[in-house]
Amino acid sequence: MFGNSRPFFALVGMSLASGNGMLTNDDQLEGVCWEIKEAVGRVQKNLIIAERLNLNSSLGLKQFELGSVVAKGNNAVVYEARKIEEVKDHSDLKLKQESSIKSFPLAIKMMFNYDAESNAMSILRAMSRETVPSRCIQHSSSRIDQQWLIGYEQNLSTLPPHPNIVVMHLCFADYVPELMDSHLLYPQALPTRINPEGYGRNMSLFLVMKRYDMSLKHFLSKTTTLKTRDRILLLAQLLEGVTHMSKQNVAHRDLKTDNVLLDISEGNDVCPALAITDFGCCLADKDNGLNLPYKTADTDRGGNVALMAPEVVCARPGTFGCIDYSKADAWAVGAMAYEIFSGSNPFYSYERGKPPLLRNISYKEDDLPELGNEVPLIIRTLIQSLLHRSTSMRLDASFAATVCQIYLWAPSSWYTKCVMPTSNEVLQWMLCLTTKVLCEGGSLMSIANTKQRTSTEYQLITTFLHRAKLYEIKNALYWMQSIQQE
């Protein structure tokens, strides 16, 4: 299946099936876990390569055809797009007018630039956080620009590709074009050469991304019959995305259902694939990691004040002040989980002039509303643990994601009974999942055609196996068993 992985897994499988076999201590079993991560990592890499855009070194806005507006916010507008060479018949007006993901598979986000000078270096410097998940940054080939880019990359953390992070193919600076409806939708963001009353600069940043179907907020607002299992799948994907960010020392700081995109290409009867987007407020500092020096009140603490974790919103500036963001995104996921499972976020105000049920600055854990009994006890407790005010008591995203994955794929007897599975039994389960992923989910084509599981499920299992460690799984099982015993 993948070079040396096949005989290795055959040997380990036979060893485990024959009893105690030759693998006896946890060190050897952790070694097998490492091999599993390496093998599944190649599946992950193949999936990422399969969705890459065919790039060249001189891409600019002129190489793309823009369609209609997909979304608009205060800081940017998003257009559906496609590479010009993808349009085979330019005389086909029906194709040109068709607004669908098949005909426009990309989305281009144009940032509104009011302050940065109209050159690539200044624009990248001013909007660097937007480029954190980008796989390629187009820039001038001059020696000065290349030297500046090296320094730029040294200070900014970047996000390697991940299934639950937006697919951002590349970013580049280019001249702001005059597009249909631009005078109506964002007149003030236009430069004076287009709109004499505009305040925008001539150039801005453009982000080329995969086009998704809708936001999580839109999906939840129009979906009333979503199964509980599918809601858990959405939560697990969200936690896996935050886990990936945390491991790369990136904090999103603006997580909300508007900033989570869904791919529903598999159909309405299965759980959609989820990706986190909009990194304009993120913390991605290689020097300080997830700890932000907070010396003055002018320091940017991120966006979406309603979903700021208590340690962020209650922080006070000082000479030695510092904000720890290591579990801040996990807290926001806990708040968003209420929207996923109940349709209502207790930290939001849904009526003008009416305060929210809870405020992040003052709520107590006992004030959190109860979720319905249709939500499993372990998941209810997990959500409440993510919303713990104390960071020492709060679960981190990795642990919470592992709990969700175990709940979805492991034998229920492991967490409903008091008997802990042995390390060999846990490893056998992981090898079974690995075999299914390698045999049935080894490519996008086979995932799409298989009937056993959906591609979202296979991708979620692959993500779990790619980071799983034996001791973390056993710790999560201990936690799940303790919930059942209370």
Residues with catalytic annotation? 254
What's at 177, amino acid-wise? P
358 and 310 Cβ atoms separated by less than 8 Å: no
Cβ-defined contacts of 398-401 (< 8 Å, 24+): 398/243, 398/246, 398/247, 398/467, 398/472, 399/472, 399/475, 399/476, 399/479, 400/239, 400/330, 400/333, 401/236, 401/239, 401/240, 401/242, 401/243, 401/464
- Integer CA distances (angstroms), 99 to 70, 102, 181, 242, 404, in order: 10, 8, 16, 32, 37
Q: Which two tokens stand for residue 463?
A: 């993500």
DSSP alpha helices (H): ranges in 175-327?
Answer: 182-185, 216-222, 228-247, 310-313
Report the sign of the C-alpha dihedral through residues 326, 331, 334, 340, in that order.
Answer: negative
Distance between CA atoms of residues 252 and 29, nearest Å: 34
What's at 12, amino acid-wise? V
427 and 438 Cβ atoms separated by less than 8 Å: no
Please give the full DSSP string across 1-24, using - where no structure is assigned. Answer: --TTHHHHHHHHHHHHHTSSTT--
Using the structure block, give the residue that is written with the tokens 């309405």: 268
414 and 477 Cβ atoms separated by less than 8 Å: yes
Would strands 260-263 and 214-215 be described as parallel, antiparallel, or unpaired? antiparallel
Q: What is the DSSP letter of 420?
A: P
Angle between helices 328-342 and 228-247 (to 10 degrees): 170
Q: Which two tokens stand for residue 402?
A: 């592992």
End-to-end Cα spacing for the chain:
45
What's at 413, amino acid-wise? S
54 and 91 Cβ atoms separated by less than 8 Å: no
332 and 256 Cβ atoms separated by less than 8 Å: yes
Q: Which two tokens stand for residue 27?
A: 């060190």
* E-state strands within 147-286: 168-175, 203-210, 214-215, 260-263, 273-276
Residues contacting residue 471 through CB under 8 Å, at least 6 positions apart? 26, 30
Distance between CA atoms of residues 486 and 481, nearest Å: 9
